[in-house]
Amino acid sequence: MKEKELLCGKIINTHGVRGVVKADSYCDTPKVLASLPKILLPDAKGNFTMRKVLSASVAKGFVLLHLEGIDTIEAAIALKETPIYALREDIPLKKGSYFLADIIGLPVIDADTGRLYGHLAEVNPMPASDMYTIKTPDGQEVLFPAVKEFLVKVDTEKGIYIRPIKGFFADEA
């Protein structure tokens, strides 16, 4: 089952004295986080408090957020290091795209033979392409570039289909 809340950033500091917070965005671009109408902030027990975004802007790659009910520097300081979540339906998604949260844990399968290489453990965005960390059945971790030459198809229900070159995985000669 897909989570309805998606991790999309973290409050890293304050900005000014009127309760504005500075956030690091985990979205495709900081503009995505800045466009959200509301965000969810977790408490220590994992329960969410919804906060309306009164204003948001992008500055030097970070997002400045003025949130409903956060009007003092003291209130903003209390939010430092707080993860930011959003409702899945509030984040725009282009046709044919998917959320990274929906592919973590999927099986990684050879597109030609059906061989199971392992499961996707992590996605690390890099300048040229994403780098997938595949956890093999024997516990090894293999870094795999998510480029069109090797990545055949991503099916968020069935798995990630790849066509690796010979020797990519340790047990191949």
Question: All domains of the chain, ordered by start, with CATH?
Answer: 5-90 (2.40.30.60), 103-162 (2.30.30.240)
Q: Rounded to whole angstroms, how far apart are CA atoms 173 and 162?
A: 18
SS3 assignment for 53-83:
EEEEEEECCEEEEEECCCCCHHHHHCCCCCE
Give 153-164 pLDDT, tens digit per residue: 999 999 999 999
pTM flag (> 0.75): yes
Give 95-148 pLDDT, tens digit per residue: 888 888 899 999 999 999 999 999 999 998 888 888 999 999 999 999 999 999
Does 71 score more than 70 pLDDT?
A: yes
∠ Cα 92 43 33 (to 5°): 20
Q: Rounded to whole angstroms, how far apart are CA atoms 28 and 32?
A: 7
Number of Cβ atoms within 10 Å of the Cβ of 77? 12
Sequence-distant (≥ 6) Cβ neighbours of residue 170 within 8 angstroms: 136, 140, 142
CB 24 within 8 A of CB 10: yes
